[in-house]
Amino acid sequence: MGVAERLAAPAVGPHYHRRMTNSPAATQPAADAPDDRPYSPGLEGVIAGETALSKVDGANGRLTYRGYRIGDLVEHGTYSAVANLLWTGDWDPRARLSTAAVPEPVLAALRALPRTAKPMDALRTAVSSWGATEGVTYPPTVEQARALTAFSPSALAAFARIRQGKDPVDPDPSLDLVAGFLHQLKGEPPDAGDARALDAYFIVGAEHSFNASTFTARVITATNSDIASAVCGAIGTMKGPLHGGAPSEVVDQLSKMGSVERAEAWLRGALDRGERLMGFGHRVYRAYDPRAAALRKVAEGMEHQPDWLQLAIQVEDMALKLLAERHPERPLKTNVEFYAAPVLQGVGLTPDLFPATFSLARHAGWTAHILEQAANNRLIRPDVRYVGPPERDLPV
């Protein structure tokens, strides 16, 4: 049995009871019989599949893509090379991917949106329109994954300019994907340092195992739906603030502090009020997020360090110290959003573009999971426990 073939197969473990026979007596419990199968809210701890794409070791703060450490990929690779690695399994540091032109029907759809529309809504609309325009069908292919990943940055940049009353900028095939995105966003050649920092952000955001949006994409693919539909669903999931909205909240937090001198008093006040410090703690990581470490290293190497970054570096040390004092029982370490925020702000993106830019980065992982799911597919259809009233007669 292959990797994706077992995706929806019941997992033996503390959270799942596997039926050991296909007999009707075993699979059809008596009416109103209690359902004593274990239940894990949010599927936490449930093994819902297998993947060869990434390994998240939350206890030890480690992340690998197809076995390669995230820090090494950031230091020696590009987003284009990492995307190719995820799609094909082959590491080629010379792999190139440039942004692609936006078809006219998609531009028409973007122009029809109100200028007040959220960038995430615009990106979702663009991907849906692209899928219809290109006539994308199942099964997904690596060529489709490349085409969609190359298209989406151009579409987001086009919307960002349209809402400012500006014309979209055509792709420059001489630029790699992330530099090309900055070029189309700003209408001028990108600063090399900014492009490098944003490329690092795209790499650390490319893939993260069975997160909510990736699982959504796999569920959609499991129905034999097309790659555009699956990515649309993933974007919709990413739009939720519990998944993709944290970097902009970090910017808001740093803005309220304003300066290093005011930072400690602000942090203490927030903790006294029981508020959460954005950019710290993670559902999976119990150690320092390796993506944050890799991103901080690149950000610190920027020739022109933005003020936001300098403030973030000093605030981080204060916050970690205070969190250790207040919550010695549980580790709350820096996560990737904390350094994503100053990097995205530093390269000139407005906070409302942060979740959509995160979605651009995640295209490589989403599409790789879509390919993996389709390779040996099984419909994902979990059970649910009924907690309503018992079977009863209709009043007459």
Give the residue numbers marked as catalytic.
Answer: 282, 337
CA separation for the pair 374, 369 (Å, rounded): 8
Q: DSSP assignment, residue 53?
A: S
* SS3 per residue for 173-192: CCCCHHHHHHHHHHCCCCCH
- Write the DSSP assignment of 230-294 as a string of letters: HHHHHHHHHHSTTTS-HHHHHHHHHHHH-SHHHHHHHHHHHHHTTPPPTTB--SS-SS--HHHHH
CA separation for the pair 360, 159 (Å, rounded): 14
CA separation for the pair 120, 188 (Å, rounded): 24
3-state secondary structure of 74: helix
Residue entry with tokens 């933005």: 306
CA separation for the pair 363, 333 (Å, rounded): 26
Within 94-208, where are the H helices?
Answer: 104-112, 119-134, 142-162, 177-186, 192-205
- Paired tokens of 309: 């970054």
Tell me the C-alpha to C-alpha distance, in Å, between residue 100 and each of 30, 119, 166, 178, 188: 58, 19, 19, 12, 17
CA separation for the pair 201, 178 (Å, rounded): 10
